[in-house]
Structure 1
Amino acid sequence: MTATSSTRDVRERVRGHLPALWRTLAELVRDRSVGADPDPPLAVTAEKVAALFRGAGLPGAAVTAVTHEGRTSAPLVHADAPGPPGAPTVLLYAHYDVQPADGSKWTVTAPFEPKEVDEGDDTRLYGRGAADDKSGIVMHLGALEALRANGSDLPIGVKLVVEGEEEGGDSVLAAHVAANPGDTRFHADVVVVADTGNLAVGRPALTSTLRGALVVDVAVRTLRHEVHSGVHGGPAPDAFLTLAQILATLQDPVTGDVAVPGLGVLDHPWPEVPPEEFRRDAGVLDEVDLIGSGTIAQQLYGRPSVTVVGLAGAPSAARPANVLTPSATARISLRLAPDQDPDRAFALLRRHVLGVAPFGVRPVVTPVGRGAGVTAGGGAFQAEVEAALAAAYGTTEVAHVGQGGSIPLVAALRAANPRADLVLWGCEEPRARIHGDDESVSRSELEHMTVAEALLLHALAGHGR
């Protein structure tokens, strides 16, 4: 069989499965698998995912968990199907937990009511998790089904890791793998992470770097209790305003760069991101300037950024009260250069916050979650990876890009598999609006990326013959 006929055969198999895969994705979107919400429990979704993979040729797929320092991970879907002697082993990674969603901000559908929309040039499925990362789960399903011609046994070894902690920022699974790099459940010749995406619909890309992440709570207390703002306001400092002063120091007031001294940067020749495309995809208002120094690609992929992602103790606009706030807490998400040590970054952030705190206030700075950045690539099958992606899209041009986001487990998998190929790809192109309102996934991207992964698995099977 020629390479061209192999590609055509794989593409036809994926297209044959695509209607069922699309329906499966919609059903998974209905599951409210928000990591921070125990109702319904994550185990419900995990059991569904395990059943799907048992039907796709991994009869041992089961829900399990790991423990680390007395903590137990969220339900983990794991499988280990050894291949024929001499065949390589691939580890397929995705996650089923999703971000919370405020339904009042969604315009196309409610977050957990999947809706298919024909948008002329493409069909998209809207709903929380449609792209991030239940599309990754369905990609893996489709690729395995396409690999098993006529229901035959898998010609390669396959390990499956579908976790429920990726969105939480504090992964017990990642901590376990990092502390136990010899745990063979997480060893493979090729590690495929289906949780990134392309430059745009139809423009294939491999992710070469991931930024790291640090999540920190900064708590400020100025008073023992609430007091009347007219009677005591002036001499008595308000905790929320004090916290706001601290938060304002995290960015340079002129450039918008992160202003925590000592944080590193990693500049790399990534393809440039056109400013007009970035503004459109990010929804930046016409009158608002972009911030930061360096190119957009440098900022997104290799430099730190800071965001306040949560507040506690902030005065309520809906029910205002004329009182001074005694205490307030901000949760800060700091994205880090791919080669930045998260522990070092925490020490630098803490020193900065303590150094700028006004009025003798002593902030409490508490780490909530951290994840190291990653550099991908590496092993013996990079040519097969690029060829599979190029063939799936019918092109000779595959971009190598960074990823501004972070996936906590990936750094641990990289360390546990230092000689393996680490493949970072997926369906999460900019129009997907992952983590935002009206999240969606492209049907054409799901098809092409499933073909790419099936072609890669097919190529790996050839190395075992």
Structure 2
Amino acid sequence: MSTNSTFDAAKNGVDISSLKSHIDSNFEQILEELSSLVSIPSIAWESFDPQNLEKSAEAVAALAKDAGMESVEILREPAENGAMGAPAVVARRKAAEGKPTVLLYAHHDVQPPGNAEDWNTPVFEATKVGDRLFGRGAADDKAGIMVHIAALRAVLDLVDDFGVGVTYFFEGEEEAGSPSFRNFLEAHQDKLAADVIVVADSSNWAVGTPALTSSLRGMCAAEITVRSLKHAVHSGMFGGPVLDAPLLAAKLISTFHDADGAVAVDGLVANDSAEVDFDEDQFRNDSGVLDSFNLAGTGKITDRLWNKPALSVIGMDIPNVDQSSNTLIPQTRFKVSMRLAPGQDPAEALQALEAHVKGVDLRGAQVDFEATEAGNAYKADLDASANDTARWALEQAWGVVPVNMGLGGSIPFIADLLEVFPKAQILVTGVEDPDSRAHSANESLHLGDFQHAIEAEALLLARINAEGV
């Protein structure tokens, strides 16, 4: 298929203008359904009420039934440690004879809210401000669910002979690391098998410019504990000869980057291969970095985001200032998250990080290293026929040529999809943009791009129905 081929309205039973008009006339209903999902605080972390995940799964299952699915189930499988996984919605519409099947993935769980005082609108109340909808999950990833729901409804309304098999797989624990994902795939392989898999959990290049995600960084994480004392002691009585654990941890952390701010852990993969780059001023605006801050690393910003490692300290156990005392703290623990370039083996990256940590001179302090997470990077097959179809659909919906872009984030379960379904073509799409602030306060969805994403997926499904994959 060619991205510049025309869409035959007579052959496919729908034309682009009719489809866009249909989605536009139903858009307020779609927003109401999305707002209802946003109102459910479906957080798959142990410290939050699991009943909200059940409520969310039930709401999503009801939408799947309304979309015309023939069977809808709420399913669970245990994780590797035996703990039962969160509820996932699997809904199916079988393919007609000779037609392919498309699996549409998104997740109904969301990140924790963080500090409510950092939000300008209520966290779990979808609030329209200008051309954006604010609220936790409004973009990541309940909008992805609604793209799948609304696109199928539109196609079923407009295409008389639609026979493509469609499966919804709406996971309930992606933000918690998808601990039961692999077991779930293997337990329900027959229900989830597909010719094309569309993962709606990524971002676009910019507002008004769509993208297919061509690569994702891998990731790994570790918890590091530094101990210099057997117990806490008075800082005046013992300070000087003895250094406290937070200070030693800070010394260790300071070795993670070189003078340019690039990751200084030996043995990690780093590439300079991006074909496009961000305007620095726009990147600064999108990221919210201070004007005085000099960006870290070297080379194109896109390579620093997509094709090179990044290392962050994402948590640290240390008394806060309001509860501090004149005490030498004996032990501190911190968590490091590392994003990995495509081509990097996560296990080898963890070994390199541990070797670096154990190789820093901390005057004989005890240092413990515990690996906690590991996930593979992803590189798309840009020659796949479904990729051409998707690029065509995106161009028709947005009216501009889409970008093939990498993404600095990670979706480790895509490697599992490729292993369990090696013959499937995978497309990674999304509704976010650089200002969506997923995982942060004031998460939001651009409504115009949301509508275009629905249009694009409906066109994708209609064309697969007409021409196959």
Same fold (TM over 0.5): yes
Contact 1:376 1:421 in 2 (8 A): no
Match in the other structure for 1:45 = 56
Name the aligned partner's letter for residue 246 of structure 1.
Answer: L
Name the aligned partner's letter for residue 72 of structure 1.
Answer: M
Name the aligned partner's letter for residue 233 of structure 1.
Answer: G
Structure 2 Cα separation of the partners of residues 40 and 418 of structure 1: 33
Match in the other structure for 1:414 = 418
* TM-score, normalised by the number of residues in structure 1: 0.93
**CA displacement, residues 135-170 of structure 1 (integer Å, 9 cap, x when unaligned):** 101111111111112797852111221112222235
Structure 2 Cα separation of the partners of residues 11 and 413 of structure 1: 32
CA 1:231–1:154 in structure 2 vs 1: closer, same or farther (change >3 Å)?
farther
Contact 1:270 1:298 in 2 (8 A): no
**CA displacement, residues 413-458 of structure 1 (integer Å, 9 cap, x when unaligned):** 1222333221111111011111111110011011000100000011
1:162 matches 2:170 = yes
Name the aligned partner's letter for residue 219 of structure 1.
Answer: T
Q: Percent identity?
A: 38
The match for 1:65 among 38, 60, 76 is: 76
The match for 1:264 among 263, 269, 291 is: 269
Match in the other structure for 1:428 = 432
Contact 1:32 1:40 in 2 (8 A): no
Matches within 5 A, 1:397-412: 397-412=401-416
Which runs of no fewer than 5 residues in structure 1 stay unpaired?
Answer: none
**CA displacement, residues 190-217 of structure 1 (integer Å, 9 cap, x when unaligned):** 1101111211111111110011111211
Greater mean deviation of Cα atoms: 163-172 or 283-292: 163-172
Match in the other structure for 2:20 = 11
The match for 1:35 among 33, 44, 51 is: 44
Structure 2 Cα separation of the partners of residues 422 and 181 of structure 1: 20
Secondary structure of the structure 2 residue equivalent to 1:306:
strand
Structure 2 Cα separation of the partners of residues 208 and 216 of structure 1: 27
1:289 matches 2:299 = no
Which runs of no fewer than 5 residues in structure 2 stay unpaired?
Answer: 1-6
1:328 matches 2:338 = no
**CA displacement, residues 11-49 of structure 1 (integer Å, 9 cap, x when unaligned):** 122112211111111111111112224315322211211
**CA displacement, residues 227-246 of structure 1 (integer Å, 9 cap, x when unaligned):** 11111222233111111111
**CA displacement, residues 344-394 of structure 1 (integer Å, 9 cap, x when unaligned):** 111111111111151212322112222111112353322211111110112
Please state how far the C-alpha of 1:304 moved relative to its aligned partner. Answer: 0.4
Please state how far the C-alpha of 1:125 moved relative to its aligned partner. Answer: 0.6
Contact 2:121 2:135 in 1 (8 A): yes
Contact 2:224 2:367 in 1 (8 A): yes
Contact 2:76 2:184 in 1 (8 A): no
1:125 matches 2:133 = yes
Give the aligned CA root-mean-square deviation in angstroms: 2.1
CA 1:224–1:210 in structure 2 vs 1: closer, same or farther (change >3 Å)?
same
Please state how far the C-alpha of 1:172 moved relative to its aligned partner. Answer: 2.1
Name the aligned partner's letter for residue 208 of structure 1.
Answer: S
Structure 1 Cα separation of the partners of residues 361 and 218 of structure 2: 26
The match for 2:121 among 100, 105, 109 is: 109
Question: Would you say how many aligned residue pairs link Structure 1 and Structure 2?
Answer: 456
The match for 1:55 among 59, 66, 82 is: 66
1:356 matches 2:326 = no
Please state how far the C-alpha of 1:401 moved relative to its aligned partner. Answer: 0.5
Structure 2 Cα separation of the partners of residues 3 and 278 of structure 1: 40
Please state how far the C-alpha of 1:84 moved relative to its aligned partner. Answer: 0.2
The match for 2:460 among 453, 456, 460 is: 456
Contact 1:83 1:154 in 2 (8 A): no
Name the aligned partner's letter for residue 277 of structure 2.
Answer: E
CA 1:215–1:240 in structure 2 vs 1: closer, same or farther (change >3 Å)?
same
Match in the other structure for 1:299 = 304
**CA displacement, residues 309-364 of structure 1 (integer Å, 9 cap, x when unaligned):** 1111x121122111111211111110001221111111111111111151212322
CA 1:214–1:349 in structure 2 vs 1: closer, same or farther (change >3 Å)?
same
Secondary structure of the structure 1 residue equivalent to 2:362:
coil
Structure 2 Cα separation of the partners of residues 332 and 236 of structure 1: 25
Greater mean deviation of Cα atoms: 38-47 or 420-429: 38-47
Match in the other structure for 2:375 = 371
